[in-house]
A and B are shown apart, each in its own frame.
Chain A
Amino acid sequence: MDILQYTAAELGKKIKAGEVTVKEACEAVFARIEEKDKEFNCYITVDREGALARAAEVQKQIEAGTLTGPLAGVPVAVKDNMNTKGLRTTCASKILEDFVPSFSAEAVRNLEKAGAVIIGKTNMDEFAMGSTTETSYYGPTKNPCSPEHVPGGSSGGSAAAVAARECFYALGSDTGGSIRQPASFCGVVGMKPTYGTVSRYGLIAYGSSLDQIGPLCKDVTDCAIVLEAISSHDPKDSTSLDRTDTDFTSALVEDVQGMRIGIPRDYFGPGLDPEVREAVLAAVELLKKKGATVEEFELSLVEYAIPAYYVIACAEASSNLARFDGVKYGYRAKEFEGLHDMYKRTRAEGFGTETKRRIMLGSFVLSSGYYDAYYLKALRTKALIKQAFDKAFAKYDVIIGPAAPATAPKLGESLSDPIQMYLGDIYTVSVNLAGLPGITVPCGRDEKGLPIGMQIIGNCFEEKKLIRMAYTYECGRRKEGAEL
């Protein structure tokens, strides 16, 4: 069997059994990248030399029996907004073109402790601001399922790299759907955990109160394994939670008997592509056959999530991105008159259009005279959205809906109308506002052959219910002989 066909868990077992070496696994990935990445552009940086050196080291530790975990020796791709010590980290921006971090993100360190080998850094929307991976300074990523389409975003490079078998799994980050939506567009499994489950230390911040790191994988089993490996309580991130229930692989159980599924009518209304609707409802039908109960309900407030999200995310972004000033790292304008002019020109030349648009909006909604009307109003709306979810989870174990209103758009169709693009986040952003976990699982394809994803949303700390539900669905689909 071709090494690239293995899931991360399967490869980990083969490596442990001595049937595949870590070097062979890495070489297979590099050959695949060599063959495909000129077209797909999943990676901004590929670290062949570093990965092979690391592979030799990991191989020794596996043979010595000091590295025994399921991810030992398995090659991984990391979204380029997570710091990797000694390896260029650009955030897909010109302003960080030559930035080499002096430390690694905690999630990356956790993977390294588990024996992961980092292949490279994946493409994304600049500073994770976008839904198509077209705002990258390093060119767009193409959807491996159909290269004239976008892979989604902002973790488009990570989702595409998994789908194109240019890695065995990847890390992404999700501020308003940036893991779940590209997972849906590329036909892979992607999960955003409860806010605070994975440390944000070393994740270059976009909207700090919303950002979470999570896995993009070939199947639900890999997703649980990776999430278990990256979750940790980290004193370096003051919003990091001290959880003792992060043994997510224990939830890989094929049984949803008696579990209650809520179907929000507002997630299936006008604006939803009929093929997406049909595929998601068929998936729910399968879960019903497996013994889950299904009930429709009104979630409410869905249309207010996007405006609230953009106010909060842009406000936080305008503050977070103030650090890029051309002084300590990154790009600096060549010509300027004095300090303030240096800041303004550096930022004007270093940031792309979408990033500037969001910094401007964020600066405006935080400015004196508008702070109450916009920023506080959005935070109050967020409280109401959280209450609506609390009410729903009093009745249901999980909520199921689509991850996006349609399958992947064609390249070049989205950026001209920002509000239209933002509307594509309608089913994902409220999950970030309420801090909830969400997972996307492939559940079919449309007539064009583009993947459709089902999104399962859980209450805070209830990732295990999501994993159990997603795993049961995946087992059921496999038995039906569907290609996932």
Chain B
Amino acid sequence: MANIISDETIEYVGILAKLELSGEEKEQAKKDMGRMLDYIDQLNELDTEGVEPMSHVFPVQNVFREDVVTNGDDHEAMLANAPERREDSYIVPMTVI
């Protein structure tokens, strides 16, 4: 069973993944993903009827803690990592015109 990845699929996945791929990268991605999915399709040999999907190994659920601030004011250290900032704000391209 061979998976053929179409141009539309790669285009769509590129949008989901937020990656601007070059023409060459798209061709490579089509091949890579097709081969990988062929390989992953092995899982279809397994009968998983009635098996619950296991996201976590331990049944730990609803871990709560008190909503109390414990950290100090780190805003300067955090803003120092901004690619672009103005005073206490991050600068981003215009989003609403």
Determine if B93 is an interface residue (Cβ-Cβ < 8 Å): yes
Determine if B25 is an interface residue (Cβ-Cβ < 8 Å): yes
A195 to B29, CA, bound (A): 32
Interface of chain A, helix or strand or loop or mixed?
helix
Determine if A378 is an interface residue (Cβ-Cβ < 8 Å): yes
Which residue on chain A has the smallest CB distance to residue B81? A329
Determine if A435 is an interface residue (Cβ-Cβ < 8 Å): yes
Contacting residues, chain B, for A342 (C-beta < 8 A):
92-93
Which residue on chain A has the smallest CB distance to residue B47? A384
Determine if B1 is an interface residue (Cβ-Cβ < 8 Å): no
Contacting residues, chain A, for B14 (C-beta < 8 A):
344, 360
Q: Is the CB of B48 within 8 A of A328?
A: no
Binds B, one of A150-158, A264-272, A306-314, A391-399: A306-314
- Interface residues, chain A, with chain B CB atoms under 8 Å away: 98-100, 102-103, 195-196, 209, 235, 238-239, 241, 301, 303-304, 307-308, 310-311, 318, 322, 325-332, 336, 338-345, 347-348, 351, 356-357, 359-364, 366-367, 374, 376-384, 386, 418-419, 434-435, 460
A209 to B52, CA, bound (A): 16
A461 to chain B, nearest CB (A): 10
Q: Is the CB of A241 within 8 A of B48?
A: no
Interface of chain B, helix or strand or loop or mixed?
loop
A221 to B56, CA, bound (A): 31
Q: Is the CB of B19 within 8 A of A325?
A: no
Q: Is the CB of A102 within 8 A of B77?
A: yes
Q: Is the CB of A356 within 8 A of B25?
A: yes
A370 to chain B, nearest CB (A): 9
Q: Is the CB of A376 within 8 A of B78?
A: no
A351 to B83, CA, bound (A): 16
Q: Is the CB of A328 within 8 A of B29?
A: no
Q: Is the CB of B57 within 8 A of A195?
A: yes
A277 to chain B, nearest CB (A): 24
- Please give 5 more A-B residue pairs, beta carbons under 8 A apart, in addition to A338-B93, A379-B53, A381-B48: A195-B58, A239-B63, A304-B43, A327-B90, A380-B51
Determine if B4 is an interface residue (Cβ-Cβ < 8 Å): no
A392 to chain B, nearest CB (A): 15
Q: Is the CB of A304 within 8 A of B32?
A: no
Shortest Cβ-Cβ A-B pairs, 9 listed: A435-B57, A379-B53, A332-B83, A102-B77, A329-B81, A380-B48, A344-B20, A383-B54, A363-B17
Q: Is the CB of A384 within 8 A of B84?
A: no
A196 to B74, CA, bound (A): 27
B56 to chain A, nearest CB (A): 6
A201 to chain B, nearest CB (A): 12
One of B18, B40, B77, B84 near A310 (C-beta < 8 A): B40
